Structure 1
């Protein structure tokens, strides 16, 4: 191919500055063409001029411009990242809105397409009013924000975002206001399959939650993953015929909420046969047992995070509900109360023969005797059970050694010990290495709960 002088090429390509489609094809001709074409595509002085006119020059970098408009390749936008950038700089307070506006216009415009956006708490910017937002956000598939987000933001997004599959609303504040923008955003979606609404506030407006439930029922055929942080005001859970995963959570701050003692809409609940995963956090025992009793035998995963005040009788009823109603369960997380529950735990292992992974938490019980539990596991564990995660402050080296010795001739263990209360870590490391060499342990990990703060329940090494 005839080589063009770079200066001539720059002049020729410069004539195409308004023809981005042709310029994109020029990027692929050769490295030289790419080097020259990149800055032409990137060239857009408007934002710089706005900042200069406001006397803001610290953010202007013209010496080393990137070859490509890298932002156009972004698909996920975490706005907390942008807020962190702004807060990390020493910017006059009066200039912050100007800079934020120009940065947002770099990301949200007709040349970008995002499939996920996450908005941080206290963010109050009308994204839908940014020029090009309709094109940029029209194919959004995932959206996450704080429940207290300005209602106008959600109402504006509801006008242009119709293809969201995943909606998540969280709260880090003790206060909470009914945000009817959530309902509008839910109602306009065409294929919603994941919905989450959590709040740590004890305030509850029954009419608001009833409206939420009614709007979710309209998506009963498509929703497969549902996370709720409120006690249902209707029997709306019975409508989700394709539900795979259900998570119900009550934060510690509202464990005394009287609404959670009302079983009216959870008793005799008909859950779909498609339900495979159930996670329940800090809900009263009567609610928890009712839910488990109304699951089908198809459920394969149960994760229970109990209240601190759960007692022996409560644990016993709970374990009985599991092995009577969930014989095909493969993964289970539960709390054991003293060794008095060992007989019921035996029944659990006998009746749930498909268990593959087990998580036991006894962190609140400093008198728990692990040796007794380990003996039961080595004798009665189903053939496919080899994944274990144990939470405790009272492990003893000799108990673990005996457990490993008795586990021989079975499938090698995947093991995690959390809050391991063994004084000498090196002794534990040596023990693990010894039994890994013997083929009894496949892999292992031990550490405190901080190390596992983002650890998924049923994830092993």
Structure 2
């Protein structure tokens, strides 16, 4: 192992890029391993959330890279507390290894060295000069809200961002569109674009210019994160900016009701996400996405949604739906009649409905590759309870062999006798990974303990492999 070819070691370490702990241990083996592993380890030091201590260490490393010119500028401004004898030049140029630049870390300078507020902008400017130059080249860039530095004006910016492939831009009323207009002049190879918090964006001229100049735009998302929306004219111009990219766009997210016929042109879509602010109808364009694999929609009327699924060609493997509960029977039929390759299904019902139960068994029988099922019932205002007992009975009876991941979420407590019977009848099947997304259990100490005891009992029997009890963390829970 110690004498493996360097290229082989690189390929092995690349597989460990998301396992920082193991990768760190590799740099301690010998110099060869260290030289190969360090660039991978430092490709994105901000991949995980930093603790306060880790933040201070990171800034110490960054400050150690400052040029003599930058050090003198800071000293001349009376900022001496970050320039110490300890800031010696490191053995590696760690900054040159960064490929993913998330500028939100600049917001943490305040606590890192107790720098006065009046000096923060000076320090940030010198750090940006350290990252943006002719010796660095980034593939991914994240610009936070309130960011006001014109990146394109830094010397070397054209080289630094010339091969940028991914940009995440957080809008705010203080964020100038000129930042995006400047990047549009030097960034032509962006494949993935995300525009967050669009509600705070009063002008979309920079967004449109950046979109228009891209040569191979593949993945784009417009994210509001608010029930408030801009006027239709604002959203319409964003849709129109995508027209010239209909042949390359494969993933799209919009947080509004479609205004133009842009969806009818995007026949090459692999992934589509539509998050409508309210349950409002819109014209059914008889949309057809023949190669669509991933569909995530929120508050799209079930009638339109069923029609959309019916017009796919059987390639859908992941579906996540939050809908109004109306005509759920047709929706479930559309899924099992057209999605035989389905592997992931999330159904989030805005109102309680038991009408899907009658067709749910057909879904399990026809979707034999299903691995993960999430049922999220928003029944906080409903008098009737959702039929968990009937659902569990069907799951025990008709689940395909592949299905072993479950997430059951409800505002009302799922009765323990239903869960116990479900688990008891699951024996002789694959051990399940289970989430019970309900905080109400913690309100009653006795019931909470009974649930924990129930889970432990079926863990001991090998029926449950792993379980989480609490809020709805369906897409973030580490299953194993």
Fold similarity call, TM over 0.5: yes
Higher Cα radius of gyration: 1
Aligned counterpart, 1:76: 100
Q: TM-score, normalised by structure 2?
A: 0.76
Q: In structure 2, what is the equivalent of residue 455 of structure 1? A: 476
Matched, 1:50 2:73: yes
Structure 1 segments, 4+ long, off by >6 Å, are: none
**1:444 lines up with 2:457 in the alignment:** no
Report the equivalent of 1:364: 379
Query: Is residue 2:437 matched to residue 1:409?
Result: no
CA–CA separation in structure 2 for the residues paired with 1:453 and 1:416: 7
Q: Distance in 1 between matches of 2:278 and 2:317?
A: 27
Deviation at 1:245, TM superposition (A): 0.9
User: Are residue 276 (structure 1) and residue 298 (structure 2) matched?
Assistant: no
> Which structure 2 segments of 5+ residues have no match?
1-30, 35-60
Query: Partner residue of 2:206?
Result: 181
- What CA distance in whole angstroms lies between the structure 2 residues aligned with 1:46 and 1:185? 33
Structure 1 residue aligned with 2:119: 95
What's the counterpart of residue 428 of structure 1? Answer: 451
Partner of 2:194: 168
Which of 249, 256, 281 is residue 261 of structure 1 equivalent to?
281
Question: Is the contact made by 1:387 and 1:415 (CA closer than 8 Å) also made in structure 2?
Answer: yes
Equivalence for 1:232: 258
CA root-mean-square deviation:
2.9
Count of residue pairs brought into register by the alignment: 407
Q: Alpha-carbon deviation of 1:143?
A: 0.8
Corresponding residue number in structure 1 for 2:143: 119
Say if 1:454 and 1:351 are closer, same or farther in 2 by CA, change over 3 A.
Answer: closer
Partner of 2:245: 219
* Gap change, CA 1:444 and 1:202, over 3 Å in 2: closer
Query: For 2:360, which of 325, 332, 345 is the aligned residue?
Result: 345
Report the Cα offset of residue 358 of structure 1: 1.2
Q: 1:303 is paired with a residue of what secondary structure?
A: strand
Give per-residue Cα distances to partners, 1:28-74, cap 9 Å, x unaligned.
Answer: 99x9xxxxxx9xx9573101111222222223223341423322221
The aligned residue for residue 194 of structure 1 is 219
Task: Give the aligned partner of residue 62 of structure 1.
Answer: 85
Residue by residue over 1:396-428, the C-alpha shift from the partner in whole angstroms, topping out at 9 and shown as x without a partner, is 222222112212222222222111644444433
Measure how far apart 1:359 and its partner are: 0.8
SS at 1:160 equivalent: coil
| Aligned counterparts of 1:43 and 1:118: Cα–Cα separation in 2 | 22
Corresponding position of 2:438: 419
TM-score by length of 1: 0.79
For the pair 1:107 / 2:131, whether they are aligned, the reply is yes
Task: Summarize deviations over 1:306-335 as a string: whole Å, max 9, x none.
Answer: 3xxx35x34334333333443442221113
Shift of 1:92: 4.3
- Secondary structure (helix, strand or coil) at the match of 1:218 reads helix
2:220 aligns to what SS in structure 1? Answer: strand
Q: CA deviation at 1:338?
A: 4.2
Give distance in 2, aligned partners of 1:146 and 1:48.
31
Report whether the alignment pairs 1:132 with 2:132.
no
Q: Bigger CA drift: 110-119 or 289-298?
A: 289-298
Q: Select which of 283, 297, 300 maps to 2:317.
A: 300
